[in-house]
Amino acid sequence: MTSPPSGEQYRISRGDQRATIVEVGGGVREYAVGDRDVLQPYPSDAMCDGAHGAPLIPWPNRLADGRYRFDGTDYQVALTEPEKHNAIHGFLHWRPWQPVDRRPDGITMAATLFPLQGYPFALDLRLDYQLSDDGLAVTTTAVNVGDRPAPYGCGQHPYLSPGDDSIDECTLRLEAGTRVLTDPQRQLPTGRERVAGTAYDFHEPHLLGDLRIDHAFTDLRRHPDGRAWLRLTGTDGRTAQLWVDETYPLLEVFTADTLAPPRRRRGLGVEPMTCPPNAFQSNEGVARLEPGATHVTRWGVSLAD
């Protein structure tokens, strides 16, 4: 029997919630409550497109020219976005992950990032997916198992589902004060802009319409528990909502305009990120993991009526 392109499929459930975690990339392929998708799925017989649900390790987003300097040494990694001369989303998108703890309502996936050209560091990684009455929670844990300090950042790339319509008919709420500006050719940072008074101010929910977005947002409003939220409400009145803890200072929002039909604008990419685009060059938000050090981040998603 031929294996699915995303490898082994690991299904978890709790009540009317169900999710599928995949071997290839260790990402979440689908998450639904009853007959309503919360995360836009991709088919089990298709390759993951647009980094759907994938972890972004050891950096999220883009790295200009695949180059960076750490502790006085220059490094070059492969250009995985060659048309823009960038490296994008780290190394683990197509690597196999293995389950190390399986529960009916949760699973922990594990992978080791061994030293490689351009990143001669070693990380043990865990992705824990847990369903509860509050939805799906995802905990990412990285441990430096090498003998030298390592630069580290992470993120993940879920797409919130609008339900049966496109995201054009959805309202978006995101209480973020600042947008990271990028150049249109390579989508690398050029500065920052306060969103107040612009089309990118979603402090009050409003219709997305045909607005195109592929930007990181920061200065997130935090609730007393430290969480920041993004909410996407469909025409059915139901809201796919995503939260991040304080380890994620940025959310990349992507309206999926560059994906091929029928995926285009059928889900809203919302990427928790510990550091901004091109962080390995700017060093902004990059964690310095000493040997034996651990880095833990959490985000989650749920459906509200």
CATH classification at residue 118: 2.70.98.10
Residue at 2 is within a domain = no
Mean pLDDT of 79-92: 96
Give tens-digit pLDDT for 92-149. 999 999 999 999 999 999 999 999 999 999 999 999 999 999 999 999 999 999 999 9
Order of all β-strands in the sheet with 294-304: 98-103, 106-113, 123-132, 135-144, 294-304, 239-244, 228-233, 171-174, 202-207
Percent of the chain scored above 90 by pLDDT? 98
Residue at 1 is within a domain = no
- pLDDT of 3: 86
Residue at 17 is within a domain = yes
Residue at 206 is within a domain = yes
Beta-bridged to residue 243, according to DSSP, are 229, 300
Q: Answer whether residue 271 shows pLDDT above 70.
A: yes
- pLDDT of 262: 84
pLDDT band at 235 (very low <50, low <70, confident <90, very high): very high
- Give the other-Cβ count within 10 Å of 38's Cβ: 28
**CA pair distance 243, 228, nearest whole angstrom:** 5
- pLDDT of 1: 54
- pLDDT of 2: 75
Among residues 221, 222, 215, 198, which one has the least CA distance to residue 270? 215
Residue at 4 is within a domain = no
Q: Which of 125-129, 154-158, 258-262 has the lowest mean pLDDT?
A: 258-262
Residue at 146 is within a domain = yes
How many structural domains are present in the chain?
A: 1
Residue at 215 is within a domain = yes
Give tens-digit pLDDT for 57-71. 999 999 999 999 999
**C-alpha triplet 133, 134, 138: angle, nearest 5°:** 115
Indicate the SS3 state at residue 94.
coil
Give the structural domain span for 218. Answer: 9-304
**CA pair distance 42, 52, nearest whole angstrom:** 8
pLDDT band at 35 (very low <50, low <70, confident <90, very high): very high
Give tens-digit pLDDT for 2-23. 789 999 999 999 999 999 999 9
- Our CA dihedral for 181, 76, 154, 204, rounded to 10 degrees, sits at 10
Residue at 15 is within a domain = yes
**CA pair distance 272, 276, nearest whole angstrom:** 10
- pLDDT of 48: 94
